[in-house]
Structures are given as C-alpha cells and as structure tokens.
Amino acid sequence: MERGGSSASRSLFPTGPSFTLDDFSNKDFIVRDFVDSLAETAVPASRRSGPANQAFDPKPLIRTFENALSQLGALGEELQEKESELLSQVRRAEIQHDQTLETLGRKLDQSMSQFEALDLTLNNNASSNGSIRGGGSGNDGGGNIAVQIGEKLEELDRKRRKAQDANFLIQCWTEVSETGQVTSLEEIQRQGGAENKIRCAVIARQLMRISQRLDPASWGQQTNGFRGNGVTNGVTGTNRRHNTREALEKFSELLEQDLLKQFNNSYRRQNFDDMMECAKVLLDFNGGASVIAAFVNQHQFFIDRDQLITDEVTADGDTWDQLADPDSEPPGVEPSLQSLIDEVKIVMQEESFIIKRAFPYYETVLIKFIQRVFQQSIQQRLEMVLDKATTISALAFLRCLHSSRAYIGALVEDLKTHGLTEHPEPCSAQIAQTLDQQLEELFIPYLVGNGYIDREKKSLEEMYNSLLFKFTLYHSRRKKAPTGFMASLAQQGTQLISSAKDAYMERLESSDLTPTQKRTMLRVAGIRDDSSNKNDIEVSEQDGVLSVAYAKRMIGWLAESVRRTLEMGSSSETPKDVNILLSLLLTSMGQVYVETALDAALDLATSQENTKTEPDLSYLPNIRPAVTITNLMSRFITTVLIRLAESNTTIRRSMEAQTKLAIEATERKTNAVMKSTMDVVLNYIPKLLSQQKKLDFKPKDDDLEGLVDTLQTAPCQLICSFLSQKVAVLARQAVDGHNLEMFCSELALSVHRLLFEHFKKFQVNATGGLMVTKDIAKYVSTLREWPLTREVEQIIEVLTEVGYLFIIQPEALKERSRNLASGPGDGRSVNAGGFGLGGGGGNSQGGGAVGKRLNKADFKQFVLKREDAGSSGVQSVLAGL
C-alpha cells in the first residue's frame, strides 16, 4: 500500500523542474519570468483546465518552491567553490607575476651596468689615442676614429659618383652635340631595369637644360653675339650642325613610350611594384601627366561605356506615366542611370586599391579618375535621362532630377565612407572635396539662379489650375449678385479665377506641351481631350463645391515640391524658395479656391435678404470645408513652410504677415456669410409672423371643437419647421463647436426678440391663451434643441412666462407681478462677435443678466392684451405695479 501511495503521490505532485548554472548565465534571464514558470509547472494541467471556482490548493506551489530553493542552495555552494578556486588561481598568478618582474629588473640592471662599463672603456681609448706624439705607442682603433673614417669614405664615394655622373653627362652632351646621337643613353636604356631608366630620364632632363643654355639656336633663340675668337655663350668651337633639341626630344619621347608600354604591361600582369617604378620615373620625367592620362583614358570602364553611351533610356512607358502623374509616388532613379552609378561605385572601390599600390602620387591620379568618371560617363547619361524626362512633362523632369541627385549624392557619401585609397579609413579631405565638387558641377546648370524654383512653381501652377479648372469655370459662369459694396469685395477673387481658368486653357493649347503632360492635365481636370473649347465643357453644381480631398491633394503636391527644393537647393536659399511656394499656395488655395466659394455663398445669401419666399440656405454647408481647408493650409504653413524660413528673420516675418492676412480675409468672408445668413433668416421670420391672424388667439365659441385638435397655429408651425429642419440642420453642417454655439445663440436671441414683440400685438381671450401657450411651447422647444449658452437658455425661458400671463387667474397674476425686474428687459442680446476658424473665435455672450426676467412695462403690455384686462381683478394687479 505504501508503494502504491508513493507512486500516486509522484504522479500527482511532480518534483518540479531542475536547472543548472547555465540557466542563470543567460543575459535575457528575468527573475519574474523564472518565478512565473515555477508557479506554472507547479499546478497540474488537470487543475489548470478545471472550473474557475475551484478551491486554491497551495501545496503544489509549496513543494515546487521548496524543491527550487534546495536546488538554488546547491547551486550557491557550487558557485562558492568555483569562486574560491578562481581566487586561489589569481593569487598564484600574482605571485608568479611579481617573481617575473623581479627577475627582469635584475637582468635590466645587469645590462645597464655592462653598457656603462663598455661606454667608459671606449671613451678612455679615444682620449688616450687622440694624438700621436714622438713615437709614443697607443691603440688608434677607437670608436670615434672609426666613425670619422667612415664619414670620409662616404664623402669620397659621393664625390667619385658625382664626378662620374658629370663625366658621363659631358660625354653624352658631346655625343649629342657633335653626332646628333645619344648612344650612351641608349645603351643604358637597353640594359633595362627601373634604376637605369630613372637614370636615363634624369640625364635626359639635364641635357635638355644644357641644350637650352649652350645651343639656343635649336630652341629658336638668338645668340648673345660672337666674340673675336668665335666663342659663343662660353663654348668654343665651330658652329654645330646638329639640332640637339630634336635629338633629345626624340630620345625622351622614345623613353617615355617605352616606360608607358612597360607600365601597361605591368598593369595587365598586376605587377604593382613595377608600375610604381615606372610611375616614379615618369614623375621625374614629365610630372607623371602622360602615365596618368594613359591609365585613365585607356581604362576598360570608359571603353565599354563609350560603346554604350548611345543606348536608349531603358524605363518603360508605365514608369514615365507614373513620373508624370502627380498623385503617384515617384518610381525612383531611371534604371540605366542606376546601373551606371552602381557600376561606378564598384569600379571606384576596386581601382582605388590599384591606384594606391601603383602610383606614388595616388591622390592626384584618383582625382583625375574621379573627374573623368563624373564629367564623361555620369554627366552624359544624366543629360540623356533628363532630356527624355523633358519630353514627358515638367513634373517628370523635376522628379528625375531629384531622384538622380539623391542617388548620385548617395554614391558620393558611400565613396567617402569607403575611403577609396584610404580604406578602411574615410577618404582624405582633398578627395572628399573633389567628390563634392563633381556632384555640385553635375547639377549647377539646373540649379543656377532661380531656374529650379521657377520650374517647381510653374509645375505646381499647372497642376493647381488643372485641378481647379472645373471649379473656376463653374464660378466664372455663375450669375453674380447685383453690384454693390459686397460685390466689390469679391472683384479680386473674380479676376483671379478668370486668370487661372485662362492660364489653363492657354497652356492646354500651347505647342510646347508634351502629349503625356496634356493627358495628365486633362485627367486631373476631369475633362475629355475633345473638349478643347471651354464653352463646350459641361459643369455641375458639384464642380463648384469645395472639396477637402482636393485640398489634401494640393498640399500633398506642395509637400513633395518642398521636399525636392530642400534636397536640391542650398540652405541659404531655402527661406526665399519656401516664400515663393507660400505665395503660390495662398493664391491658389486661399484666394482662387476658398475665397471664391465664400464669395459665391455670400452672393447667394445677400441676394435673398429681402426674399418673400423661403430662402435657399444650401450654400451653408460650403462653410465647413472652407474652414477645414483653411485650417489645413494654416497648419501646413505654420509647421512646415515658416519653420523652414527661420534662418532668415526678414522673410519669416513677411511669410507670417502674408499668412495672417490670408487667414483674416477668409475669416472676414466666413463671418460675412454667417451674418448675411442670419439677416436672411431674421428677415424671413417676420414675413411668416405677418401671416398670424388676429382671431388666432381670440377664437369664437363655435370654433372651440376645431381648436381642441389643433397643436399650434399655422405661422408657428411654418417658423418652427423652417428653423429646425432648414436653419439648424444646415448650420450644423456649416460650423461646429463654439462657432455653432455663438451663431445659434445670437439667432435664438433675435428670434426671441421678434416673438416677444409679436405677442404684444394680439388680443387674447381665455381659449386663445391656450393657443398662445402651445405656440410659445413649440417655439421654446425648437430653440432648446440648438446648442445655446446658459444665459441665452435662461432668456428663452422668459417666453414661457409670457404664455402663462394669458391663462392664469388674476390672483396668480398678482403673485407673478412680485417677481418682475425693475429695469427694461425685453430679451435683447448684445451684438454677436465673429466666427473664428477651427472652433475658436467669436467673443460675444448673448443676453447677459438683462432679459432673464420680465420687467413691469412688458408685463403690463402683455396683461393689457387679455380679454379680461378691464376686470377689477386684473386692474388691481396693474394698479399695484
């Protein structure tokens, strides 16, 4: 039984996981995860998958952690033993190190003692044998004597060689001057070897200088005159018949050709030592110009690339269409140019290794090689790519120019980092300067002056005019409101949309417009190719409505242009460039687009201020996209354009002023539209109130049955329907937040004032009082649905008090009269402020404390309209006022 129980115990409560020191040596070891894993393995799987309300059993956890503690204790003891052993080894190593230092110190002392003894012996010998007198005996083999003898021998050897060289030089000059031959030099040249060729080059250069001095006739110079004995320039003898210059130049040319041939053969065999020797000789010979030219011009890279330079640009039609499409991401650098630059990178890295080993003046050679690569191979291919892009569109050219500049710039940075001849260290300052200079010279023709930013501006103008063409065409055809003050405010916008529309049509009909660019402009404008006559182009009302998506496209295009301008231009020109782009944005998006739509809304609003029919407020929803677009534009200007101009305070302030004026102009027009809308509504409501019949609130007894089922009078129903279903709905589509609250509060106060005066005009009997109460309750509930300020809500509630005045008994009237305000209070509001963009702006507070309670004058006017106003009860109330 005991054995069976033990087996069952082992199966239910396993001993837990085991671990070693390696488990704790891992750098990713986390104590919390270790404890969590112990706890997880402690609970059997059957219990983990059991019901949630199962009782907690701590025993498996206790056993597991006890087991872990015991293993940790054993591991701790093991670590302690290892630590003790390592400490012992360290102590033994330190003892051995000290012994070694002591031994070396003794040996060093012995060596120094021996050196001092030897030095003393040598000095004694030198002093004892400094001079030989009277046959005295001594040892003359001292150290200083040996040094002096060696120096004298070296000096004699130099003089001997110098005399030999002078003798050989005179011999060579005699040969060339008397025979026109350089036999001695040719013999040395035939012996071969780098030293012999260097000697030939040096002597040939010296002979050339001698020839200039002693044989000026062969150099085309006049002699200084003959003396009586026929001496010319200090040289005696008859006139020489041989042209020493020609003979020496011929030999020098043959020697140079021989050296160049040897250099090329060594290059093919990768014999860098021999290449170095040839380069040294040619450096002494003619400054190394010939060998540099031979190495660079005959390089296989240039030979292969010269054969491929006539190849067509390899990008397909889809790639060029993508480049010309402003809504597509740029596809990157042109493939053939990319292939060339990738090959240049490999060749430059490989050849710099050869140049470093083959030339003593390797930086000069590398600079020539870099110049040839950039000025011939890269520049020719770049011009081909850009010429092809020019035939596609202006945007394709700009994108090609930018991607090429970025890719070649990356090549330059990679070469700098690689180091070339200084690899693995970064390249020298001179090479880095050469690379930067070549990169700059590649793109100077496209960036000089204002040429580049003018291209960017022209491209953006074409795209903006294309996108807004239908919009400008619609508004140019729109019937204008009667001329007046408000129409004069919109005159500038009308001229702008007309010029933008005409510019698009002129560009579309231009002869230098490429087919791809024309297709792109037509696609962006949303018109067909056969609609070249603007009078044949159909536009709808939707074309004249603002679109936030259009604005985002315009900002996206501008952002891409700003990015290109930053990467292509210099930092000193950035403020001026972004200022140009800002002006374009404010004109195209601010004036041509947003302000034109606001002008149209204002025209429609002002034209309905005196309408007798229900006004059309469908223009109101255009306010919302106008505000949104202006906010987008303002945010982009503030966060991008103005920040880029911070380095130039004057331009930055000018940009801030331009932006402020543009935003304020949009705000003024938005305010004008909202104010005109309020005037339209407030002019229409009195027309509806004028339809109120005198007997609506003084019905006859035989009309009682019909009045029971009537909720409100007809004018009340028309006004509430107009306010709730038209004005409120469209106002919410136009503005939101604080602007909506201000608009609704001001409008509610004005409606409240109209109603307040309206109910003073009618006689009301007891039954009519019920109708007044119903009408007022409807008015109040309609206005309460609007977002109003708290003060305005309290003022609106006064209307409810007015309704009660017509239905309560005289005793209740007397009680009401005790809570009247002493001053005037008809619910009139303070003039509302403007509507700021983005939920801000607007600083008015409707009503205030005035109008929250009825005053005595208004109370009396309303009570006098009661049918029982002449009764004693009512008269006593009025008398008590």
Decide if 546 contacts 629 (C-beta within 8 A).
Answer: yes
Structure tokens at 521: 């402009």
| Other beta carbons within 10 Å of 289 | 13
Q: Where are the alpha helices (DSSP H) in 179-226?
A: 183-190, 194-214
**How far, in Å, are 551, 617, 632, 750, 772 from residue 548 at the CA level?**
5, 21, 9, 33, 46
pLDDT higher than threshold 60 for residue 91? yes
Task: Describe the crossing of helices 335-358 and 379-390 by its angle, rounded to 10 degrees.
Answer: 170
- The average pLDDT across 830-838 equals 48
- Looking at the DSSP bridge assignments, the partners of residue 866 are 764
Q: Which residue has the tokens 């701590």?
A: 58
pLDDT, tens digit (0-9, with 9 covering 90-100), for 35-89: 878 787 777 666 655 565 667 778 888 888 888 888 888 888 888 888 898 888 8
pLDDT at 706: 54
- The average pLDDT across 717-745 equals 94
pLDDT higher than threshold 60 for residue 856? yes
Structure tokens at 516: 């791809």
pLDDT higher than threshold 90 for residue 697? no
Q: Is the peptide bond before 515 cis (omega within 30 degrees of 0)?
A: no
pLDDT at 110: 87
Cα(638)–Cα(635) distance, rounded to whole angstroms? Answer: 5
pLDDT higher than threshold 90 for residue 719? yes
Q: Using alpha carbons, select from 731, 722, 763, 751 the residue that is nearest to residue 827.
A: 751
Cα(617)–Cα(607) distance, rounded to whole angstroms? Answer: 11
269 residue type, one letter: R
**Main-chain dihedrals φ then ψ at residue 866, nearest 5 degrees:** -70, 145
pLDDT at 19: 74
pLDDT at 6: 38
Q: Which of 115-124, 298-307, 408-417, 550-559 has the lowest mean pLDDT?
A: 298-307
Task: Describe the crossing of helices 335-358 and 272-286 by its angle, rounded to 10 degrees.
Answer: 80
**How far, in Å, are 358, 361, 364, 443 from residue 421 at the CA level?**
11, 11, 11, 26
pLDDT at 126: 55
Cα(201)–Cα(188) distance, rounded to whole angstroms? Answer: 11
Helix (H, G, I), strand (E, B) or coil at 855: strand
pLDDT at 434: 94
Helix (H, G, I), strand (E, B) or coil at 796: helix
pLDDT at 495: 61
Cα(797)–Cα(776) distance, rounded to whole angstroms? Answer: 10
Cα(595)–Cα(663) distance, rounded to whole angstroms? Answer: 10
pLDDT higher than threshold 90 for residue 199? no
DSSP classification of residue 423: T
28 residue type, one letter: D
Query: 540: which residues sit within 8 A by CB, 6+ positions away?
Result: 474
Helix (H) and strand (E) counts in the chain: 38, 0
- Looking at the DSSP bridge assignments, the partners of residue 232 are 235
Q: Which residue has the tokens 């006098």?
A: 864
Query: What is the average pLDDT score of the chain?
Result: 81
| Sign, Cα dihedral of 225, 228, 230, 236 | negative
pLDDT higher than threshold 70 for residue 382? yes
Q: Which of 136-140, 406-410, 557-561, 582-586 has the lowest mean pLDDT?
A: 136-140
pLDDT higher than threshold 50 for residue 839? no
pLDDT, tens digit (0-9, with 9 covering 90-100), for 286-333: 778 888 888 887 777 766 655 455 566 766 778 888 889 999 998 889
Q: How confident is the model at residue 569 (pLDDT cuts 50, 70, 90)?
A: confident
pLDDT higher than threshold 60 for residue 135? no
Q: Which residue has the tokens 């090329």?
A: 264
pLDDT at 303: 60
pLDDT at 694: 84
pLDDT at 552: 96
Higher-scoring residue by pLDDT: 27, 832 = 27
| Other beta carbons within 10 Å of 127 | 10
pLDDT at 559: 96
pLDDT higher than threshold 60 for residue 142? no
pLDDT at 414: 94
pLDDT, tens digit (0-9, with 9 covering 90-100), for 403-445: 999 999 999 999 999 988 888 888 899 999 999 999 999 999 9
Decide if 849 contacts 686 (C-beta within 8 A).
Answer: no
- The average pLDDT across 18-28 equals 75
**Percentage of the residues of the chain whose pLDDT score is greater than 90:** 34
Instruction: Write down the pTM of the prediction.
Output: 0.70
Integer distance in angstroms from the first to the last C-alpha of the chain? 109
Q: How confident is the model at residue 877 (pLDDT cuts 50, 70, 90)?
A: confident
| Other beta carbons within 10 Å of 310 | 8
Q: Where are the alpha helices (DSSP H) in 479-609?
A: 485-489, 491-508, 515-525, 548-568, 574-585, 596-606
CB contact burial 590-617 (16+ within 10 A = b; e otherwise):
bbbbbbbbbbbbbbbbbbbeeeeeebeb
**3-state SS track over 643-658:** HHCCCCHHHHHHHHHH
Decide if 768 contacts 696 (C-beta within 8 A).
Answer: yes
| Other beta carbons within 10 Å of 155 | 10
- The average pLDDT across 168-191 equals 82
pLDDT higher than threshold 80 for residue 593? yes
pLDDT, tens digit (0-9, with 9 covering 90-100), for 227-253: 333 344 444 444 455 788 888 888 888
- The average pLDDT across 112-130 equals 71
> DSSP secondary structure string, 354-396?
HHHHH-TTHHHHHHHHHHHIIIIIIHHHHHHHHHHHHTT-HHH
| Sign, Cα dihedral of 798, 804, 805, 811 | negative
pLDDT at 1: 39
pLDDT higher than threshold 80 for residue 654? yes
- The average pLDDT across 364-380 equals 90
Q: Using alpha carbons, select from 690, 692, 867 the residue that is nearest to residue 767.
A: 867
Decide if 67 contacts 43 (C-beta within 8 A).
Answer: no
Cα-Cα-Cα-Cα torsion 630, 634, 640, 644, nearest 10 degrees, comes to 130
Query: 516: which residues sit within 8 A by CB, 6+ positions away?
Result: 320, 321, 324, 392, 393, 396
